[in-house]
């Protein structure tokens, strides 16, 4: 009870300031909308394909993308809210579970890619597939949402550069080189490291991605793997949905030394809205909850009902603090100060998480974030870069590197078995 009273007291103390900030932000919303209508808001990560797999078996006949709010658990994304949010270019994540046999992951990734192709075919007045930076600019000028494909996890290529090339041919233009599991060639954040970064085959994956023109996404790798990639790559890298580790110590966030290397590389960190990546208070809350649950499970071993009851009592007495739109803006501030505004973007992770910061509950809220940044003194030129111009630059530079490398060498013939003892 004491914890709940303390939380209520703090909330009441900070409520006037929060309300004032929200009121001030509203003064800038029209300006933010105007900005996003002339520069494509380029979001780095959205998991709508995964939601369609789980909720409707990929069937548009079962779930119309014009309204996903009527579901018992509403999605964060649909066409009207994308339009309200002024999204101009969307990286659609084609994520599949990393803890399955890799041949199965390859098949399911192709199914996810097929979904994105069918999405743009189903709603041609709203979406068009983009394969290049020039495509994005043309599609945005036509009043549509440029749709790009990003693979989330190197398990999706099944240790095969041939599969990597086929995914590129089907439209994939970035690959997050791991997800939640360390692979045979690269270490994943949050999993036990095995390779101290990249293996020799992992380096060959990066070189082949550079040759193809596929962006290397480092959002799910260890700092050692980040550094290895930045040593090997000839093209700018991206973090499709990560925040600053100096503000929130989550292993999915980017440490300062890697921020510096990423700026030197010309790359981009796309700030995400995942609450435990955004709020240190929320991350600490769930650490305390996990510790308490371990204690309860030890004390009540083999008694699931007693464990559930104890956790219910704990949850009632210890409400989780929410992240906020202002904290997302704090990460943008930090990255701008550490790296320069040319290396900051947005990667919401809508429909890939169960909860979102207050003020950023769905894709319609992007103008509110840009209004907050205007309130903080960002210039329109700076925000045009954060919204989309930075991502377009990185894409163009990756395309230029690919054009040069393709003139120098053909497809890699390296197999992962070439490196076995």
Q: Above 90 in pLDDT, residue 421?
A: no
Look up residue 53 and give its two tokens: 């797999």
d(CA 314, CA 318): 6
- 152-163: per-residue pLDDT in tens? 999 999 999 999
Q: How confident is the model at residue 240 (pLDDT cuts 50, 70, 90)?
A: very high
Q: Above 90 in pLDDT, residue 303?
A: yes
What is the reported pLDDT for 19?
52
d(CA 244, CA 378): 19
Closest CA to 395 of 86, 208, 136, 127: 136
d(CA 309, CA 300): 11
Would you say how long the chain is, in residues?
A: 421
352 by DSSP, 3-state: which?
Answer: coil
What is the reported pLDDT for 117?
98
The sign of the dihedral angle between the CA atoms of 230, 233, 235, 238 is negative
- Sequence-distant (6+) residues with CB within 8 A of 158 are 102, 103, 105, 106
Q: Are 106 and 175 in contact (CB under 8 A)?
A: no
- Helix locations, 170-301, DSSP H: 200-212, 223-232, 256-265, 275-278, 280-299
Alpha-carbon distances, residue 339 vs 9, 105, 262 (angstroms): 37, 35, 8
- 397-410: per-residue pLDDT in tens? 999 999 999 999 99
Q: Are 222 and 26 in contact (CB under 8 A)?
A: no
DSSP string over 185-220: SB-BTTS--SSSSB-HHHHHHHHHHHHHTPEEE-TT
Q: Are 244 and 335 in contact (CB under 8 A)?
A: yes
Q: What is the mean pLDDT of residues 260-270?
A: 98
What is the reported pLDDT for 50?
98
Q: Are 225 and 198 in contact (CB under 8 A)?
A: yes
Q: Above 60 in pLDDT, residue 7?
A: no
What is the reported pLDDT for 183?
98
d(CA 112, CA 52): 9
Q: How confident is the model at residue 22 (pLDDT cuts 50, 70, 90)?
A: low
Q: How confident is the model at residue 300 (pLDDT cuts 50, 70, 90)?
A: very high
What is the reported pLDDT for 410?
98
Q: Which residues pair with 88 in a beta bridge?
A: none
On average, the pLDDT of the chain sits at 94
What is the reported pLDDT for 217?
98
Q: What is the mean pLDDT of residues 297-307?
A: 92
Q: How confident is the model at residue 25 (pLDDT cuts 50, 70, 90)?
A: confident
| Residues designated catalytic | 45, 47, 152, 179, 220, 241, 349
Q: What is the mean pLDDT of residues 382-387?
A: 98
Closest CA to 209 of 235, 183, 171, 227: 235
d(CA 279, CA 277): 6
Report pTM: 0.93
Alpha-carbon distances, residue 418 vs 25, 160, 182, 413, 421 (angstroms): 57, 12, 20, 10, 9
- 312-333: per-residue pLDDT in tens? 999 999 999 999 999 999 999 9
């Amino acid at each position: 009870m004491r914890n709940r009273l303390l939380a209520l007291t703090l909330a009441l103390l900070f409520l006037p300031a929060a309300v004032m900030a929200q009121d001030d932000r509203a003064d800038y919303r029209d300006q933010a909308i105007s900005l996003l209508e002339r520069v494509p808001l380029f979001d780095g990560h959205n998991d709508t394909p995964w939601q369609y797999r789980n909720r409707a078996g990929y069937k548009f006949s079962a779930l119309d993308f014009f309204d996903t709010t009527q579901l018992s658990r509403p999605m964060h994304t649909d066409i009207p809210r994308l339009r309200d949010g002024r999204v101009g270019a969307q990286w659609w994540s084609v994520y599949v579970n990393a803890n399955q046999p890799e041949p199965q992951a390859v098949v399911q990734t192709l199914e996810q890619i097929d979904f994105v192709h069918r999405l743009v075919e189903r709603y041609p007045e709203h979406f068009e597939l983009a394969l290049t930076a020039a495509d994005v600019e043309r599609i945005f000028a036509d009043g549509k949402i440029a749709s790009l494909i990003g693979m989330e996890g190197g398990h999706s290529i099944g240790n095969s550069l041939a599969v990597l090339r086929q995914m590129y041919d089907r439209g994939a233009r970035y690959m997050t080189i791991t997800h939640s599991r360390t692979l045979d060639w690269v270490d994943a954040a949050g999993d036990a490291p095995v390779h101290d970064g990249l293996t020799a085959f992992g380096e060959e994956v990066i070189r082949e991605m550079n040759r193809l023109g596929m962006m290397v996404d480092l959002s799910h790798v260890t700092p050692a793997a980040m550094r290895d990639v930045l040593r090997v790559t000839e093209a700018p890298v991206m973090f499709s949905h990560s925040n600053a580790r100096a503000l929130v110590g989550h292993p999915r966030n980017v440490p300062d030394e890697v921020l510096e290397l990423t700026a030197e590389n010309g790359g981009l960190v796309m700030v995400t809205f995942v609450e435990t990546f955004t709020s240190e208070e929320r991350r600490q809350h769930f650490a305390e909850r996990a510790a308490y649950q371990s204690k309860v499970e030890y004390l009540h071993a083999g008694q699931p009902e007693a464990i559930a009851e104890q956790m219910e009592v704990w949850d009632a007495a210890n409400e989780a603090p929410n992240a906020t739109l202002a904290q997302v803006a704090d990460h943008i501030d930090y990255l701008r100060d550490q790296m320069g505004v040319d290396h900051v973007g947005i990667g919401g992770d809508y429909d890939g998480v169960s909860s979102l910061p207050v003020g950023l509950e769905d894709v319609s809220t992007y103008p509110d974030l840009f209004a907050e940044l205007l309130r903080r003194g960002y210039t329109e030129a700076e925000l045009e870069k954060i919204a989309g111009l930075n991502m377009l630059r990185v894409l163009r530079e990756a395309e230029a590197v690919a054009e040069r490398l393709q003139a120098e060498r053909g497809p890699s013939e390296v197999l992962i078995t070439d490196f076995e003892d």
